[in-house]
Amino acid sequence: MPALWTPSDKLLLASMSATRLALLVSAGLPVETQDSAIDERAVEHAAVHEGLDPPALAARLAEEKALAVSRRHPDRVVIGADQVLACEGRVFHKPADRPAAEAQLMALSGRRHALHSAGALAIGGQVVERILGTAHLTMRPLTEEAVELYLDLAGPDVLRSVGVYQLEGFGVHLFEAVEGDHSTILGLPLLPLLASLRRLGCLAL
């Protein structure tokens, strides 16, 4: 059987995200995962002091993840990724609990927000490719009762999402408009990533 992936070792994903792993596997890439173990809030705090905007913050987080794992495995191709949600000048994070999720959904209700998804490819402890995609989503106006019902239906897994929604599931009911690539919304712009891997000679197709 012909091989799509040309390196001898699998692509190393610097994340434990099941969604990003599924995206890469769906594209036929052989993937292993490893937690980057970086302090994301510390990286973000430093980035805010540097005045980085949300897209640049997503890029910085992706790079730090890729570099952390690449330094441990300098002979591997490593992909780091991160996503930043911004709405009217505010950056949102994954909610710590259900009350935080409820408050976050009410803050996004009736508003258009941006999802900035960044990726960084690293080899030998150096970032060799960077990718960035942005999608815009408009959440329909929601009542507190609708938010409660949605969270009951969606279950605790949505707390792992920065926007408290999974568009491929019950989250689709929250929106009136979606602008952007689906993989960007899921947290990893797949087409730019594949283009980067081709430039590096990692793909036969």
> pLDDT digit of tens for each residue in the chain (205 aa)?
679 999 999 999 999 999 999 999 999 999 999 999 998 889 888 888 898 999 999 999 999 999 999 999 999 999 999 999 999 989 998 899 999 999 999 999 999 999 999 999 999 999 999 999 999 999 999 999 999 999 999 999 888 888 999 888 899 999 999 999 999 999 999 999 999 999 999 999 9
115: part of which helix (H) or strand (E)?
Answer: strand 112-123
Closest alpha carbon to 69 in 120, 30, 110: 120
Indicate if 35 belongs to the active site: no
Amino acid 188: pLDDT: 96
Tokens of 145: 């009762």
177 vs 18, 62, 79, 110, 145, CA distance in Å?
A: 25, 27, 30, 11, 21
171 vs 7, 69, 108, 152, 153, CA distance in Å?
A: 37, 32, 13, 12, 10
Amino acid 70: pLDDT: 98
Question: CA 200, CA 60: separation in Å to the nearest integer?
Answer: 21
At residue 31, φ and ψ (nearest 5 deg) are -135, 140
Question: CA 66, CA 49: separation in Å to the nearest integer?
Answer: 22
At residue 131, φ and ψ (nearest 5 deg) are -135, 155
Which of 39, 53, 82, 181 is labelled catalytic? 82
At residue 83's C-alpha, the angle toward residues 27 and 26, to 5°, is: 10
Question: CA 160, CA 96: separation in Å to the nearest integer?
Answer: 9
Q: How far apart are the first and last CA of the chain?
A: 14
